[in-house]
Structure 1
Amino acid sequence: MVLTVDVGNTNITFGLFDADKIALISRLATQRQRTPDQYAIDFINILSLHRIDASKIEGAVISSVVPELTNTLVEAVETINKKVIVLAPGIKTGLDIKIDNPAFLGADLAAGAVGVIAHYPLPALVIDLGTASKIYAVDETKSFLGGMIAPGIEISLNALTETSSQLPTIAMNAPSKACSTNTVECMQSGVIFGTACMIDGMLDRFTEELWEPKTVVATGGLAKYIIPECKHEIIYDNYLILKGLKDIFDRNK
C-alpha cells in the first residue's frame, strides 16, 4: 500500500492506495503549530480505527503548499514508514513544465496535472476549488502550459462578512434564483452562481487561447457546490491530486 498526503492551507488530506484502488481517505485540519508527534498520533489512530496494519504500507509521498509544515509532516509519516518522497523540483513527474519559472510550480498543481494525465483524455483543463480557485491547462504532450489563480470561495466570503457588519454567515447552498430577494440568498447567489460564471467564462477564454479540451475536470473541497451550477460539462474528481501523487510515487520508488 502507498500513503499519499496532500498538505493544503486549510486541510491535510491523506489517501491510502492498495494497488490502484483507494482504500482509505481521511482529512485533518491544517494546524501549523502542531508537532510531528501530534500528527503521527493522528495518523496512527486513523490507521488503527480502520484496522489497517501500518507495516503493510510500502511508502509515502507528500505534496505541500505549506512550507513550514512540510518537514513536520515528513517526520510524522516517517514514524510509520521510512520511505517518504516529497514532491519538489528534481522529483520525476513526467511533466514538461512550460511556465516562466518551472521551480515555482505549486506541488498541488503538479500532482493534479499528473493525475489528469494518468486518468483522462488530453488536452485537459483542471479546476481546483480550495483555499484558492485555480484553473490550469495540460496539453496532449503532457505539458503544463499555465493557468489562473483567484481568491478562494471561503476567502472571498469571509472577507465579505468580516468587513460588512450587517452581512451574516451563510451556508454553501445554491439559491433558487440568481436575482434573489433576501440577504442570505443574495449572498449565496453571488458566491455560488458568481463563481460558476467565473469558471464558465475562464474556460471559454482558455479555449479561445489554447484549444478545445477533451476533458474538463474539477477537484477541491468546494467544487461539489459550484460545478453543478456551471454550464460547461465538467467531471468532478475529488481525489485527482491523490491519484497524481500515487503515480508520482510509482515513478520515483
Structure 2
Amino acid sequence: MLLAIDAGNTNVVFAVWDGAAWRGRWRIATVPDRTADEYAVWLVQLMAWDGLVPADIDAAAIACVVPNALYNLRRLCRDRFGVEAMVTRSDLDWGFAIRTDNPREVGADRLVNALAARVRYPCPLAVIDFGTATTFDVVDAAGDYIGGVIAPGINLSLDALHRAAAALPRISIGRPQAVVGRSTVPAMQSGVYWGYVGLIEGIARRIEAELDQKVTVIATGGLAPLFMDGTTAIHHLDPDLTLDGLVLLAERNMKATA
C-alpha cells in the first residue's frame, strides 16, 4: 500500500491507498519542527483504528511545500515504515512539460493537482485550490503546465482585515444571505465571499481570453464547495485531487524510486 503525504502550510494530510481505494486519511496541523517520532505516535494509532499497521505500507510519496517539515516526514517513512519516500520535484516523470521560467519553484501541490486534473478532465483547464493561498494552475490544450495565479487565501484575508482594522471583529467565512450587509459582520462576510467569487470569475475569464479558448475549471481544497455554490465559473468539484495526483505520480515513477 502507498502512504501519501500532502504537507501544506496549514495542515499535513496522510492517506493510505491500497491500489483501488483510499483506506484512510488523517489530518494534523503543520508544525515545521514536529519530529518523526511525534508523527509516528499519532499516525500509527489512527491507522490501527482503521485496521492498518506499518507493515502494510510498501511505498510512500510526499508533496511538501514546507521545506523545514520535509526532513522529518522522510525520516518517518524511513524509520517507521521502512520505505524511502518519493518526494515530488520538477525533474520527475510527470507525463507533461512544465513550461514555466523556473520549474523548480512551482509548488509540489500545484503540479500534482495539474497531473490529476489533466487525466480526468478535458484540456485546457484551470485548477483552483482553496488553501492557505488561493491558487489557479493552468494546463494548456496540449496538456502542458504553463503556470498560474497565486492570491491570498480566504482565511489570510480575514485575519488581515481583523488585524489591520481595530473596529472590525474576527469573523468566519460563509455565504451571506444578501450582498448588501445591514450590519458589520454580514457586510464583512459579503465583502470576503462575493469578493472571492468576483476574483474567481474575473481570473477564469482572463485565462480564457489569454488562451483564446474555453477552459475547464476544477475546484479543490476545503472551501471549494462553499464557493462552487456561488458561481457558475467552476465546472467540477474534486476534493481528492491532490492525493489522487500523488498516487498517479508514484505509479509513473515507482520503478525509478525503487
TM-score per shorter chain, which class?
over 0.9
- Residue number in structure 2 paired with 1:206: 207
TM-score scaled by length of structure 1: 0.95
Map of 1:178 onto structure 2: 179
Q: Aligned partner of 1:250: which letter?
A: E
Query: Corresponding residue for 1:44?
Result: 44
| Aligned equivalents of 1:30, 1:92: Cα separation in 2 | 28
Q: Secondary structure in 2 aligned to 1:97?
A: coil
Give the Å deviation of 1:95: 2.3
Matched, 1:6 2:16: no
- Output aligned runs, 1:79-118, within 5 Å: 79-118=80-119
Give the deviation of 1:11 after TM superposition: 0.5
1:169-195, Cα deviation, whole Å (9 max, x unpaired): 212211101111111111111111110
Match of 1:26 in 2: 26
TM-score, scaled relative to structure 2: 0.93
Paired amino acid for 1:151: P
Indicate the SS of the match to 1:94.
coil
**Which segment drifts farther, 216-225 or 199-208?**
216-225
Structure 1 residue 234 corresponds to structure 2 residue 235: yes
How far apart, CA to CA, are the structure 2 residues paired with 1:195 and 1:65?
24
Give the RMSD, CA atoms, in angstroms. Answer: 1.4
Q: Cα distance, 1:123 vs. partner?
A: 1.7
SS of the residue 1:167 aligns to? coil
- Kept after mapping to 2: 8 A contact 1:192/1:225: no
> For structure 2, which runs of at least 5 residues remain unmatched after alignment?
none
Question: What is the number of residues matched between the two proteins?
Answer: 253
Greater shift in the superposed pair: 239-248 or 159-168: 159-168
Q: Does structure 2 retain, via aligned residues, the 8 Å contact 1:113–1:144?
A: yes
Secondary structure, in 3 states, of the residue corresponding to 1:186?
helix
1:23 aligned counterpart, secondary structure: strand
- SS of residue in 2 equivalent to 1:90: coil
Q: How much has 1:124 moved relative to structure 2?
A: 1.1
Whole-angstrom CA distance in 2 between matches of 1:233 and 1:106: 22
1:116 and 1:213 map into 2 onto residues whose CA distance is 16
- Is 1:193 aligned to residue 194 of structure 2? yes
1:66 and 1:242 map into 2 onto residues whose CA distance is: 17
Q: What whole-Å deviation, never above 9, does each CA across 1:71-130 have from its counterpart, x for those lacking one?
A: 111111221241310001322211201111111111111111111122222221110110
Letter of the 2:40 counterpart: A
Match of 1:150 in 2: 151
Other-structure match for 2:71: 71
